A and B are shown apart, each in its own frame.
Chain A
Amino acid sequence: MRGVLALKQEVAVWGETEGWRWIFVFKSALAALLAMWLSMRFQLDQPRLAMITVFIVMRPQTGMILTKSLYRIGGTVAGITASFLLVTLFAQEPVLFLLGLALWVGLCTVGAAFYRDFKSYGCVLAGYSAALAGLQAVPQPHEFFSLAVTRLSEVALGVLCAGVVSDIIFPRRLSDQITTNVQNRYGQFMTFVRSSLSGTATPTELSAMQMRMADNVIALESIRNAAFLEDPEVRSRDLKLRRLNSEFMAASTTFYSFHQLLKRLKKNATPAGEVLSDIYDSLGQVLETTGASPRSSDTARVAARRIAAFRAVLARKVKQAKADVPTLSDAQNRVDFDTAIELLRRFLHELHGYTTTYATLSAREQGPKPPDDITFATYTDPVAALLAGVKAFVSILLIGAFWIASAWPYGASALSFAAVASALFGSVPDQYRGVRHMTIGHGSGYVVAIFFAYLIMPSLDGFALLSAALLPLLMIGSYIITCPRWIAIGTGYVVFFCAMLSPANPMVFNPLGVVNEGTAALLGTVISGLVFMTLVPATGAWFKRRMAGQIRGLVVMACFDPLPGLLNRFEGGTYDLLHKLGSTRHLADDQNQRLVAWIFTVREIGRAVIHVREDAAMVQMPHLLSYRVLGSIRSTARLFRSLSAHHREETLDSVTIAMNAIRREMGLDSRTPHDKEILRRLLSSLHLIRTALLDDETVLAATSGLPNQTTEEIVHAA
């Protein structure tokens, strides 16, 4: 009896870790074979295209859906239309035709790199189907229409098979994924807060935790986007999910600022720091009891109540501390203390909101509509996307030129694979790794395909045997796809294998053709890979510098963009950049660490600037005062546009001047208590900016610290 129980447990554990992989493996193999069978049944002449499409489209991470397939079919239609245009215009002119094709593939690569998720896939398919249909039609332009319709049918068939199979057979429900994601993040965040409060975690551990949470935010955003199209249940919770994401980001940024400020205060051994430590510990205790990752909404509700109760305790403790510690009445200490308390209060408010939203997530009602539009702004570098397009363009042109110059009979295969590969390279976050993995995958697919074509294929008779023989080889590829790190290898292998084998009805046995075409296709991939790696590589110094500039640009955005929805756009931008850095290869490398440090500094200062602007808009200020506040914002923007010790000093001066002006304004009797409260908040935010600028351990200080350093050197250092 005990043995059965143990076995049951073992099976449950296996189901959680390995089970879904095997489900995916069987599903994608099934979808591919179904697509093959259907296209043979419909007498389409290239069943391999349907199979390739299945493997390009099937992804284990997100639930696949029929609605999402619409984007892909749309992309294919766009690609076929483009190739139609090219063939009708330039069927007689190889140079112009290839130029046009290169331009189109380049454009699609820009799209694939710029958008994400299914929009990106639509672009990939648009580029790839244009190359396929166009290149096949060039020798026989009269046949183009029927060819185009067949290609379209094959791709659409593949998309539909993948969609239906993954939707119907053991679907990984998106709503389940969302629930796990949200629960994990809540737990992670609580652990993060607790371990930074208790000081048990090292800075590297804390930064790794932040990275994980950033990945989590982006993952939720992408699942939510997909689910919005798919699942009516999720659609009805959409607003809440968006709010959850934005509240989480707000709370974690505030906590980060608070933690930084406290570190600075403790380091300088100010009396405020000591008083705060006490309050800090009691907060840790409150979260200690609530933080044991409340899985159910009930426990989360209890946690929310406890956090709300602590807010009342906090007010009492602050009053007591002010009475007990006389040194706090000194202006400098007081502003330190007030700023920290203000941050803590805000953090508690946000944490309370986050926990409440988390608790009511499963409830049916939508809750009040927020004043701002909560859209998550993703942040993609248009120049990087454009550059990926240029690379695709160049690689297509290179291969095309070689084709024309050498009258290579297999140039078309090389070109179409170059088109597929460049569109895919553009869409992966780490192009360097993408290229390497894709080449490995293609190479292994090539070897296996030759082996299969020479040894196994001749003894196969009929569809049943063919699918039985293909099944294990396809399953190997899908299993590799389930490991997120090896996705490109698995996809490359299985796509190349299907393309080379080209099962058809009636089956054509042409092993020599397999070798010739395979070599050409592999060459196409390798050449476009080389172009992607050598022509302004995405890991190069220029990109690093540009990225640093972009990160700092977020502060400029915080300074000048219109206020409505700005906070969300700003936070979304920082998280997106953090996620992007996390998904590149060398996170441990010094330059990347520096970029991550920049993101944290930018998050702190940019957030404070936004609060200054919001509060300044809420209160009536005399002309001179608003001029001073505006001046401090302007000089902050100037500092982040071009770093230098001079600008840093200027910013410090203008912030100090603005703070003094606010202090004077607060002393006036004509001000109502409400106004004074807002002015006090304004003062805290400005003080936060000031301490962040003064801190000599931040990356900001490291790059703008020495007065003699010229901007040129700083740009290099970043």
Chain B
Amino acid sequence: MPREFSLLDALMPTLFLVFLASVVLQTVLDRIMGRWGVYRHVWHPPLFRVSIFFCIFSIGGLLALR
């Protein structure tokens, strides 16, 4: 994958797209886990949430830039 893409002739990093996709994915996951009550079994829900986000973003970024 190229490192940058052109948005209306302005070069944007591809990672930005990955970031947006991760946000969407994380929001969906967050809703589902909230409904299933996963967060009740977690010691520090916000930390857990941010960590999940970082995992998604890192995996996505590594895959995209491989």
Contact status of A168 and B47, CB under 8 A, knowing A145-B10, A232-B30, A233-B34? yes
* Mask: chain B, 28-58; 1 = CB below 8 Å from A; 0 = not: 0011011100011000101101100000000
Taking CB atoms, residues of chain A closer than 8 Å to B44 are 168
Chain A CB within 10 A, most for which of B35, B46, B50? B46
| Residues A167 and B34 in contact, CB atoms below 8 Å apart | no
**Cα–Cα distance between A66 and B35 once the two chains are bound (Å):** 19
Cβ-neighbour of B34 out of A164, A168, A235 (below 8 A): A235
Answer yes or no: A534 CB below 8 A from chain B CBs: no
Interface residues of A in 230-260 (CB under 8 A from B): 232-233, 235-236
- A167 is contacted by which of B31, B39, B46 (Cβ under 8 Å)? B46
A171 interface residue per 8 A CB criterion? yes
Select B46's contact among A145, A168, A233, A235, beta carbons within 8 Å: A168
Given A232-B39, A233-B39, also A167-B50 (CB < 8 A): yes
A233-B31 Cα distance, complex, nearest whole Å:
10
> Which residues of chain A (204-241) have a CB below 8 Å from chain B?
232-233, 235-236
- A168, B39: Cβ atoms closer than 8 Å: no
User: Within the assembled complex, what's the spacing in Å between the Cα atoms of A171 and B44?
Assistant: 9
Whose C-beta in chain B lies nearest to the C-beta of A149?
B10
A166 to chain B: closest residue by CB: B46
Pick the most buried of A164, A168, A236: most chain B CB atoms within 10 A of its CB: A168
Cα–Cα, bound, A36→B34 (Å): 34
Interface residues on B, range: 10 to 19
For the complex formed, measure the closest distance between the CB of B29 and the CB atoms of chain A, giving whole angstroms: 11
Q: Which residues of the other chain, A, contact B49 by a CB distance below 8 angstroms?
A: 167
B12-27 interface mask toward A, CB cutoff 8 Å, 1 = contact, 0 = none? 0000000000000000
Q: B46, A236: Cβ atoms under 8 Å?
A: no
A146 nearest CB neighbor, chain B only: B10
How many pairs of A and B residues are in contact by the CB < 8 Å rule? 23
Question: Are B10 and A232 touching (Cβ within 8 A)?
Answer: no
**Interface 0/1 of A166-198, CB less than 8 Å to B:** 011001000000000000000000000000000
- Interchain nearest-CB distance for A122 vs B (Å): 17
CB-CB nearest in chain B for A63: B46
- Given A232-B39, A233-B39, A164 contacting B50 (CB threshold 8 A): yes
Contacts of A167 in B (CB 8 A): 46, 49-50
Interchain nearest-CB distance for A27 vs B (Å): 13
State in angstroms the CA–CA spacing of A167 and B44 once bound together.
10
Q: How far is the CA of A236 from the CA of B46 in the complex (A)?
A: 17
Q: Are A236 and B34 in contact (CB under 8 A)?
A: yes
A237 to chain B, nearest CB (A): 12
Q: With CB as the reference atom, state the residue of chain A lying closest to B35.
A: A232
Q: Is the pair A232, B50 in contact by a Cβ cutoff of 8 Å?
A: no
**A121-165 at interface with B (beta carbon < 8 Å):** 145, 164
Contact check, A232 vs B31: say whether CB atoms are below 8 A apart: yes
Instruction: Give Cα distance in the complex from A164 to B50, angstroms.
Output: 8
Chain B nearest CB from A174 CB (Å) reads 11
* From A145, A168, A233, A235, contact of B50 by CB (8 A): A168
Distance to closest chain B CB from A229 (angstroms): 10
CB closest chain-A residue, reference B26: A66
Chain B residues with Cβ below 8 Å from A164 are: 50
CB distance from B18 to the nearest CB of A (A): 16
Q: What residues of B have a CB within 8 angstroms of the CB of A168 in the complex?
A: 44, 46-47, 50
Structural contact, B47 and A232, CB atoms closer than 8 A: no
Per the bound structure, the CA–CA distance linking A232 and B36 in Å amounts to: 10
Nearest CB to that of B51 among chain A residues? A168
A290 to B35, CA, bound (A): 35
CB distance from B17 to the nearest CB of A (A): 16
CA distance A235 to B45 in the complex (A): 15
Least CB distance from B52 to A in Å reads 12
Q: Measured between C-beta atoms, what is the minimum distance from B44 to chain A in Å?
A: 8
Q: Which residues of B lie under 8 Å from residue A171 when comparing CB positions?
A: 46
In the assembled complex, how far is the CB of residue A63 from the closest CB belonging to chain B, in whole angstroms?
A: 9
Can you name the residue of chain B whose Cβ is closest to the Cβ of A67? B27
In the bound complex, CA of A232 to CA of B42 (Å): 13
A275: min CB distance to chain B, Å: 53
Question: In the complex the two chains form, what is the Cα distance from A66 to B22 in whole Å?
Answer: 14
For the complex of A and B, list the 6 residue pairs with the smallest distance between their C-beta atoms, beginning with the closest: A232-B34, A167-B46, A168-B47, A171-B46, A168-B46, A168-B50
Give 7 new A-B contacts, CB below 8 A, not counting A167-B46, A167-B50, A235-B34.
A164-B50, A168-B44, A171-B46, A232-B30, A232-B31, A233-B39, A236-B35
**Interface of A toward B, CB cutoff 8 Å:** 66, 145, 164, 167-168, 171, 232-233, 235-236
Question: Can you pick out 6 interface pairs between chain A and chain B where the beta carbons lie within 8 Å of each other?
Answer: A66-B50, A167-B49, A232-B31, A232-B33, A233-B34, A233-B40
- Interface residues of chain B, those whose CB is within 8 Å of chain A, are 10, 30-31, 33-35, 39-40, 44, 46-47, 49-50
